[in-house]
Structure 1
Amino acid sequence: MFSSVRFGTGRLAPCRYLISKHVLRHTIAVAFIRQKDVSEMKSLQLVAMLLLMLTGANEMAAQDLTGSSAVQNEVLILHGKQLFIDDYVIANLKGVRKVLNQPVKHPRNPILRKHKREYAITYGAVVWDPKNSLYKLWYQIWSDPRDSIGTAGYAVSKDGIEWERPVTDKAAGTNLAIFEPKEPWVGAPGVIIDTRESDPQRRYKMMYLAKPTLKGESLRSCAAFSADGIHWKQEPTNPVAPYSDTQIAPYWDARLGRYVAYCRTGPPNVRNIARIESEDFVNWSPKVRVLQMSNLDKPYSTNLYTMTAMPYAGVYIGLVNTYHGETISTIPDDKPWMDRCDAQLVFSRNGVTWHRVLHDGAITAAQLREKRDWKKEADDAVFLPYGEFKMEWDWGQIYPHHPPLVVGDEIRFYYTGISGRHWATYHKDTPDHAVGLATLRLDGFVSVETDDEGTLTTNSLMFLGDTLVVNANASGGAITVEALDADGKVIHRFSRSNCTPITSDSVRHVVSWSDKSDCRPLQGRPIKLRFHLKRAKLYSFEPATRQNP
C-alpha cells in the first residue's frame, strides 16, 4: 500500500506515503515549503494539480494501483530534463552502454592569444550579457615571471569566438578591470551577472584573489561589485573568505536561494576542492571539502587543482582541473604526462556530494574503492584533454574558465591553454598562453548508445507533462519508445509498435504514437518508459508541457 516518492531531481521525500488525498496534499505542502525559486514553484503547482487529479476524479484508479506489486518500489516525480550521467532514472540497460562524450575543440582555436604586454594568462570567467548583447571575459594576467604584479584583463565578443580587448584605461592604454581603490594584486576572477540584483551598482559580482602585501601568505578571497563590468568597488569587509590561490567559481543557486562558490581548501594550501555559500555574496559559510583524491588519482599522482561548476537541468555539472605528476625534476621520455593538467567531469544532485565521472558515467564512493585497472579508468575519464605533446598550442596545461555556458543547442567550455608544463622553467619549456573553446551538444555529457540494438528501461516514475521530448541521434538507425504500467505491462496505446520511429538527429524530438504526441493519458500514475535503440545515441528525455488545454 505504500510507495516511496521522490520529488524534484533527486531528493527523497522524508517518509513513505499512502497514495491518498490527505497525504498527497501534505507532501505537496512540504515540497512547496522547501522550494524558494519561482520557476520550481510553478512546476510544483503542476505537480499539485496532477496529484489532486489522481486523488479526485481518478481516485478509484489510484486506489487500484495500490494493490499492484510495482507500487512497492520508489516512484520518481520528475521535473524537467533527465540526463544519464548517473543511474537515477535508469532501471535496466540491455544491449546498450553509457558513454562519456568529450567536447570538441573549436577549429579556430586559440580564439584569443595573450598580448605582448602580458607575460602569462590563466584563470578566467566568461558571461553573456544580454543588456549589451556581448560575451565578456575576465582573465588573470601575470606581468612578470616573479608573479609580482597580478591584474585582471577584460575582453568582449559579439559571437564568443572573435574577441577584442577594449581600452578601459585611456591614459594607460590598457584593457584591465579597474579597481577603486586600486588592488596591488588581483587573480582568478570569477564573475556573474546577477539578474536578481535591484542595485545597478552591484549587477556584476566578482570573487577574486587579492595579495595585499604581494606575498603568498597574504592571499585571500575577496568580493567586488560593478555596474559595467569594468569599474569595480571592493567589498569594505574584505576578505570574505579565507585563503585560496586558484579559480573561484561563484553562481546563484535558484534551488537554494543562495550564492554558491567553489574554491581551493585552506589555509593551509592543500590541493583540494571546497564549497562555500552565502545569502548576500558577502557573508560566506565556512569551507566544506567536496572532493578528495581516490584510487582514480593514484596512477598519475593526480592532484585536484581547481573546479568550475554550474546548475544544469536540475542537477550540477562541474569540471575539475586534474594536475598529474607534479615535478621539477627531469621527466623520463616514457612519462610525458608528468607535470601537465587536463580536466575531468564531475557530477552532483545537490551541489555538495560530488561524483567523479568515468567512461561510462558517474561512479559512487564505494565503487572508487574497488579493485580495477585504475590507470585505464583515469585515461578514459579525461573530459577536456590537453593537446598533442609539444605539437599543439595547448599541449601542456588546460584551465577551464567559469562557468560553462549554454548557448542555443550547445554547451561552451572556455579555457586557458598553455604550451608548456606547470613548472615550465625547470623543464626549459617556453610556453605561450591563449584562450580556447570546446563545445558539446546540449545534454551531451553521457549518452546511452549501441552499434546494434538494445533497450533502456527507466525506474518507476510519475509522468508530469503532456509530451515526451527526446534528445537523440538516430541517423542511420532508429529509436522507439513504449510505456509500461505499474506491473510492467505495455500500455496498449503507447506500445512500441504504435510509436513513430525517430530516425534523425535532433536535441528536441517529439515522440508520437499513432501520429499523436499527447501523453496526458499517462499522467497521474506510476509508469516506466522503455527506449528501444537501434544504432542510435540517446542523450536525455523530458516530460514536457506543450499541448493546448
Structure 2
Amino acid sequence: MSLRILLRTTFTLVTILLLSVRADAQSRSLPAEPVAMGTESQFVFDGFIVDNHFALKYKQQAVEREFHPPRKHARNPLIAGEGGYVTVRRHPETGLFQMWYQTHTPRLNADGKHVGSNYAIAYAESKDGLDWKRPQLGLFEWKGTKQNNIVWKGITDQRASGQCLIEAPEADRRGYRYLMSYHTGGVKKGMNGIRVVGSQDGIHWDKSSDTLLAELHSDTLNSIVYDPVEKQYVMYCRAKHIYRTFRGDILDTGASRRVARMTGPSLWEKWTSQPQNMLIPDELDSAKQFNFFYGMPVRYHAGIFWGSLWPFKMNTDVVTELAFSRDGIQFERLSARPRLLDLGEEGAWDDGMVFGNNWVEVGDEWWFYYSGFDGPHGDPTARQPGIGVATIKKERLISLRGPRSGGVVITRQIQWPGGKLLMNADASEGEIKVRVSDARRRVLEGFDYDDCVPLDSDSVRHTVRWKEKSIESLAGQTIRLEIFLQDADLFTFRAGETAP
C-alpha cells in the first residue's frame, strides 16, 4: 500500500470516528430529526424536544420557563430527633414505603469536646408515607444496645454512611431486589471508600456481596445512576483523591466540596476511572456566599438526569436546588436559582440545613423526602435532625408558561408513534389548543387550532382531541405539534392510550 493511500485511508477512518462521536454527542443535547419519541414523557422546558417558542405580543411578552417548587407537608417532621441523608422507595408489589437514612452518634474526648462521629444506616417503613415506624430489629449494636433499627454498619461493622439505593437493569442485580452504595472509612487500606452491597428485603444485607467500587474518601451521599444510553454507571461524588481541605492549608489542598463525576461498567468490580469535577459554584452562588456544594443526588428519568444539588454556605446553611442535564455531564440550573427545598422559617425544625433527595411517585404526585436540621453545619452538638417530605404533582417542576395574550410552543419534527396525544398541563386560568403541521409547518387538514377542542382545566393526563380527526391516524408520520398557550402552563406531553 502506498503512503498516499495509507494516509487517505487513515484520514477517512479518523473522519468517520469524529463524525460518529459528534453524532453521539449531539444526540444527547440536540436530537436527530425526526425524533423517535416513543411513548416516554417529553419535557418541554429544556429545549430538547422544543424547536421554538414565542409570544403573540412579542415586544412586551414571552413564553417563559416557570419553576414550581414542591410544598412541604403540614405534618413535618415525619421523624423527629433523628435523621441524616434519606432515601425512600416503595415496594413494587405491596406499596410499602421503605426508608433508609444515615444516623450518627458523636464521639467526645475526655473533656467532652466533639472529635468525630460514628455512622450507620437505619431503617423505617410506612403504609402511607406519612406515619413511619422504626422497627426494633436487633441486628447490630448501636449506642450500647441491639434494640434499634440499624440495618447496616459496613463491611467491618464499623462505619457506613452516605447510603444510596441503586436502580439497575435486572441482568446486573445478581438476583438482589435491593442494591445500595455507601461510604466507609477508618478501616484498613484497600477497603475504605465507596462500596456496593445487595439485599433481598432491604433489611438484611448480604456481606458476601459487598464490593469496593472506588477507593475514594468522598464523605457525602455518592449517587450512582445507570445511564441507559451509554450503558454504564455514573457516580456523582467528591474528588477527594486530589482535593482534601482537612490536610494543610487550602492554598495547597484546594476545595473538595464540588460535584465530581466518575464512571464504571459494573457494580461488582473496582472502577478504574478517576473522578472529574464537573459542577463548581459560580458567581451567582458567590453573591450569596454559597461557595461550596455538599453533594448532589441524581436520578435518571425520561431522558434527563435530575440533580438535587446541595449548595453550602461555609459553615452554616445547606439548601437544595434543582439541576438537570441530558448527558449527565453538562448540568444546567435556572438563572434565578430557586430552591427546590428551602430552609424553614426561623425557629423551625429545618431552619439550618435541608438535604433533599429525588422523588417517590405516589399516585399523581412526586414526594420529595428530605433530612432537615434546626442548626448550622459548623456545630454538630447544637442541632437536632428530622425527616420531612414535600409534594408536587408528577413531572411538574418546570413548565413553559404562555402569557396572557397567548404564545406558541413548536416541537421539533416528531415521528408520531401512534396513540392519543396526552398532555400534563394546567389551563385552569386560560386555555390550550394544539394544531398539527408537517416538517415545513404546513397545517394538516382537520388539525388546525379551530379544529381542536380547547383545554381549560388542570390535569396531569389531558387527552387532546380534534373535532373531526384523530391524531391516532398519523401513526408513523413526521409531524410537528404547535401548542398555543394562553395563561397556561405546559409541563410534558406524550403519546399513548392512557397516562402511566
TM range (shorter): 0.7 to 0.9
1:531 corresponding residue in structure 2: 483
Question: 127, 130, 133: which is aligned to 1:161?
Answer: 130
CA distance in 2, matches of 1:222, 1:198: 15
Structure 2 gap ranges (5+) = 1-17, 56-61, 107-113, 140-144, 245-255
Question: 332, 337, 344: which is aligned to 1:355?
Answer: 332
Are 1:197 and 1:203, in contact at CA under 8 Å, matched by a contact in 2? Answer: no
CA distance in 2, matches of 1:304, 1:189: 18
CA distance in 2, matches of 1:498, 1:486: 20
1:231 corresponding residue in structure 2: 204
Secondary structure, counterpart of 2:148 in structure 1 = coil
Please tell me whether residue 110 in structure 1 is matched to residue 77 in structure 2.
yes
How far residue 483 of structure 1 moved from its aligned partner, in angstroms, is 1.4
CA distance in 2, matches of 1:488, 1:200: 50
Secondary structure, counterpart of 1:140 in structure 2 = strand
How far residue 257 of structure 1 moved from its aligned partner, in angstroms, is 3.4
Please tell me whether residue 307 in structure 1 is matched to residue 293 in structure 2.
no
Q: 1:152 to 1:486 in 2, by over 3 A?
A: closer
Are 2:446 and 2:469, in contact at CA under 8 Å, matched by a contact in 1? Answer: no
1:220 corresponding residue in structure 2: 193
- Where does 1:34-113 land on structure 2 (aligned, <5 Å)? 75-79=34-38, 80-90=40-50, 91-94=52-55, 95-113=62-80
CA distance in 2, matches of 1:93, 1:13: 33
Secondary structure, counterpart of 1:354 in structure 2 = coil
1:336 corresponding residue in structure 2: none
Question: 121, 130, 133: which is aligned to 2:95?
Answer: 133
How far residue 451 of structure 1 moved from its aligned partner, in angstroms, is 5.0
Q: 1:484 to 1:498 in 2, by over 3 A?
A: same
Superposed CA deviations along residues 321-376 of structure 1, whole A, max 9, x for unmatched, are 1112x14xxxxxxxxxxx21111111111222222233xxxxxxxxxxxxxxxxxx
How far residue 13 of structure 1 moved from its aligned partner, in angstroms, is 9.2
1:279 corresponding residue in structure 2: 265
RMSD between aligned alpha carbons? Answer: 3.2
Q: 1:180 to 1:111 in 2, by over 3 A?
A: closer
Are 2:163 and 2:181, in contact at CA under 8 Å, matched by a contact in 1? Answer: yes
Superposed CA deviations along residues 140-187 of structure 1, whole A, max 9, x for unmatched, are 111125433211111111122111101111771110014586421211
Are 2:100 and 2:163, in contact at CA under 8 Å, matched by a contact in 1? Answer: yes
Please give the TM-score of this superposition, normalised by the length of structure 1: 0.73
AA in 2 matched with 1:462: Q
The count of corresponding residues between Structure 1 and Structure 2 is 440
Are 2:418 and 2:471, in contact at CA under 8 Å, matched by a contact in 1? Answer: no
AA in 2 matched with 1:92: H
Superposed CA deviations along residues 449-496 of structure 1, whole A, max 9, x for unmatched, are 235122222233332323211111111321111112233232221000
CA distance in 2, matches of 1:193, 1:531: 35
CA distance in 1, matches of 2:378, 2:188: 21
- Where does 1:486-525 land on structure 2 (aligned, <5 Å)? 486-514=439-467, 516-521=469-474, 523-525=476-478
Are 1:307 and 1:321, in contact at CA under 8 Å, matched by a contact in 2? Answer: yes
- Where does 1:116-195 land on structure 2 (aligned, <5 Å)? 121-144=83-106, 145-169=114-138, 172-179=146-153, 182-192=156-166
Are 1:193 and 1:203, in contact at CA under 8 Å, matched by a contact in 2? Answer: no
Secondary structure, counterpart of 1:271 in structure 2 = coil
How far residue 510 of structure 1 moved from its aligned partner, in angstroms, is 0.9
CA distance in 1, matches of 2:495, 2:213: 45
Are 2:403 and 2:485, in contact at CA under 8 Å, matched by a contact in 1? Answer: no
Q: 1:489 to 1:148 in 2, by over 3 A?
A: closer
2:7 corresponding residue in structure 1: none
Please give the TM-score of this superposition, normalised by the length of structure 2: 0.80
1:420 corresponding residue in structure 2: 375
Superposed CA deviations along residues 350-409 of structure 1, whole A, max 9, x for unmatched, are 222222233xxxxxxxxxxxxxxxxxx34xx32221112x232211101123x4222221
AA in 2 matched with 1:301: Q
Are 1:410 and 1:439, in contact at CA under 8 Å, matched by a contact in 2? Answer: yes
Q: 1:522 to 1:201 in 2, by over 3 A?
A: closer
1:205 corresponding residue in structure 2: 179
CA distance in 2, matches of 1:455, 1:195: 39
Are 2:213 and 2:267, in contact at CA under 8 Å, matched by a contact in 1? Answer: no
CA distance in 1, matches of 2:415, 2:21: 17
AA in 1 matched with 2:123: Y
CA distance in 2, matches of 1:423, 1:199: 39
Are 1:511 and 1:517, in contact at CA under 8 Å, matched by a contact in 2? Answer: no
How far residue 102 of structure 1 moved from its aligned partner, in angstroms, is 0.8
